[in-house]
Amino acid sequence: MIAIIDYDAGNIKSVEKALLSLGQDVVITGDREEILKADKVILPGVGAFGDAMANLKRTGLNQVIREVAAKGTPFLGICLGLQLLFERSEEAPGVEGLGVLKGEILRIPEKEGLKIPHMGWNSLHLEHGGRLFEGIPEQSYVYFVHSYYLKAKDESIVKASTEYSTHIHASVESGNVFACQFHPEKSSDVGLKILKNFVELT
């Protein structure tokens, strides 16, 4: 069973639909026990870093996520869900992130001819060994919607990157913790393959 964490940060139904299309047993939940007993856990999210962290703290889900990560359950953060796993974001100065991984979230620099937020398809440069990207060709296109991007402290965890005004760490893997800045559930066949790779992790 795959638990999708419900913390009032949107985008849950499209993730659920994609997983159901892969034949998965899925539950959308904010219940601690249900999340902790799940075989895999997904933290989706769209919206603002500060509001999302406030919701996670109010419900106690911040601690639940840390427990899931610590006990070795495969965990996937998507979009804002990636950003929340890190220590801080320029979007919400003074607000602590979950700190499961080391790094910071920065605003995409303004550059002539490029719109922010970054909305649309960008190709990925894949690093060797990313388990989410098995069977995914180099320079595959995925769908992004974001104004802020990850700069991971340890670049060895970065398994995919892209270029949009700057160099963006687009996906990370550290032990049982995975995360994507892009939306695999909105990235057509490539995205479904990425989700399939996640759900088939042992």
Catalytic residue among 79, 91, 118, 180: 79
> How far apart, in whole angstroms, are the C-alpha atoms of residue 199 and residue 193?
10
Residue 195 structure tokens: 């989700």
> How far apart, in whole angstroms, are the C-alpha atoms of residue 156 and residue 55?
31
* Bridging pattern class, strands 148-152 and 103-107: antiparallel
**Catalytic site includes residue 79:** yes
Of 78, 89, 81, 85, nearest to 102 (Cα)?
A: 85
Catalytic residue among 91, 180, 183, 200: 183
* Bridging pattern class, strands 158-163 and 2-5: unpaired
Contact 3, 70 (CB under 8 A): no
> How far apart, in whole angstroms, are the C-alpha atoms of residue 115 and residue 46?
18
> How far apart, in whole angstroms, are the C-alpha atoms of residue 191 and residue 140?
10
Alpha-helix runs per DSSP H in the chain: 12-21, 32-37, 49-59, 61-70, 80-84, 188-199
**Catalytic site includes residue 183:** yes
Catalytic residue set? 79, 183, 185
